């Protein structure tokens, strides 16, 4: 196991370093602006290293476990599609509807494979919805140093426990690759993940959740707990923007983590979100054998607590005169 971790952490670190060299050479730079949360021009596209590491891991698992090769192949096709459209978008902005179309294609490939291999139409529908949803959630939430990679690593840790004898190895590769990327992005960002990484990581998390759910049955609700921080912040912020009649698909800095980061800085916010997710991992670790009803009640309470913190952060932002929140 430790050799596997070391390999993919090294791939994540080396790939990120190479991506930074390429970004600087190609002038692939994120400039500060009113719709961004950083104040220093920073290269982007480092997430391609995580994508490459996870693709290698998926290929290795497909070879090692031939019966799982069709699912591994579908996963890889979807990951490549989302990373590819993100890579293009990092170089020249594309229509959000074109990106969404590619996300839907990748989700459909995953859903078809789940239906064809596992024979579960409901799980296939969940795969499609979760893949489209988390691809965009991770893209929305990749706005401050370390946030997207640290949350992906923590969710992957939960999936190592819950993913079963095969897919837990893919979750471990994702965890290790994110750990390899993080020193370049946190606490000081020498490179950003970019759309190539954020969307693809969201897709990978969604696919791993669905594959873990295939073996968890009624306990699948546990998988929603580690996702709470991102699901609550992105979901409530999106709903508020829709209610206000805003162009919800355009870039903005209205998420709770962005409002909070303007007050206390990137590092503290990223760590606070990490603590919230770590607490959910403790719950996941110790309640795997309890009844389904208790899991659902605990999940509802956890999401309600997240919604309360979202409201509190947004309210505090308004009271302190935040011009955007």
Per residue in 304-313, is it b (16+ CB within 10 Å) or e — as a string? eebeebbeeb
| Ligand-binding site membership of 139 (annotated) | yes
90 compared with 287, residue with greater pLDDT:
90
DSSP 8-state symbol, 218? G
Residue 312 in contact with residue 237, Cβ under 8 Å? Answer: no
Strand partners, 30: 42
Q: Mean pLDDT throughout 305-325? A: 78
Q: Residue 97 has what pLDDT?
A: 92
Sorting pLDDT into bands at 50, 70 and 90, what band is 269?
very high
Statement: residue 148 has pLDDT above 50: yes
| Ligand-binding site membership of 136 (annotated) | no
Statement: residue 288 has pLDDT above 70: no
Q: What's the distance, CA 13 to chain centroid?
A: 18
Query: Residue 146 region, left (φ>0) first, then alpha (ψ -120 to 50), else beta?
Result: left
Helix (H, G, I), strand (E, B) or coil at 29: strand
What is the percent of the chain where pLDDT is above 70? Answer: 95
Strand partners, 42: 30
Q: What's the distance, CA 5 to chain centroid?
A: 19
Statement: residue 188 has pLDDT above 70: yes
Statement: residue 324 has pLDDT above 50: no
Sorting pLDDT into bands at 50, 70 and 90, what band is 37?
low
Which two three-digit tokens encode residue 207? 């696919």
Report the C-alpha gap between 289 and 297 in whole angstroms.
Answer: 15
Statement: residue 286 has pLDDT above 80: no
């Amino acid at each position: 196991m430790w050799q596997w971790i070391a390999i993919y952490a090294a791939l994540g670190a080396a790939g990120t370093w190479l991506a930074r060299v390429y970004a600087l050479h190609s002038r692939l730079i994120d400039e500060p602006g009113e719709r961004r949360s950083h104040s220093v021009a920073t290269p982007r596209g480092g997430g391609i290293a995580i994508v490459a590491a996870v693709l290698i891991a998926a290929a290795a698992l497909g070879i090692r476990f031939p019966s799982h090769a069709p699912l591994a192949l579908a996963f890889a096709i979807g990951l490549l599609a989302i990373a590819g459209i993100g890579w293009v978008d990092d170089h020249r902005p594309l229509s959000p509807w074109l990106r969404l179309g590619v996300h839907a294609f990748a989700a459909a490939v995953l859903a078809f494979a789940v239906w064809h291999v596992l024979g579960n139409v409901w799980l296939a529908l969940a795969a499609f919805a979760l893949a489209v949803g988390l691809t965009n959630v991770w893209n929305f939430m990749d706005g401050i140093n370390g946030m997207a990679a640290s949350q992906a690593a923590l969710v992957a840790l939960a999936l190592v426990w819950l993913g079963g004898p095969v897919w837990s190895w893919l979750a471990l590769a994702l965890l290790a690759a994110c750990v390899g990327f993080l020193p370049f992005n946190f606490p000081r960002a020498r490179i950003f993940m970019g759309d190539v990484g954020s969307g693809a990581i969201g897709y990978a998390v969604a696919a791993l959740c669905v594959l873990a759910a295939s073996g968890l049955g009624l306990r699948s609700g546990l998988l929603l707990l580690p996702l709470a921080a991102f699901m609550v912040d992105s979901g409530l912020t999106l709903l508020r923007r829709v209610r206000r009649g805003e162009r919800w698909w355009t870039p903005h800095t209205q998420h709770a983590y962005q409002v909070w980061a303007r007050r206390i800085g990137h590092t503290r916010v990223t760590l606070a979100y990490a603590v919230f997710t770590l607490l959910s991992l403790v719950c996941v670790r110790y309640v795997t054998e309890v009844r389904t009803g208790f899991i659902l009640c605990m999940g509802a309470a956890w999401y309600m607590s997240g919604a309360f913190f979202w409201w509190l952060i947004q309210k505090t932002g308004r009271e302190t005169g935040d011009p955007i929140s």
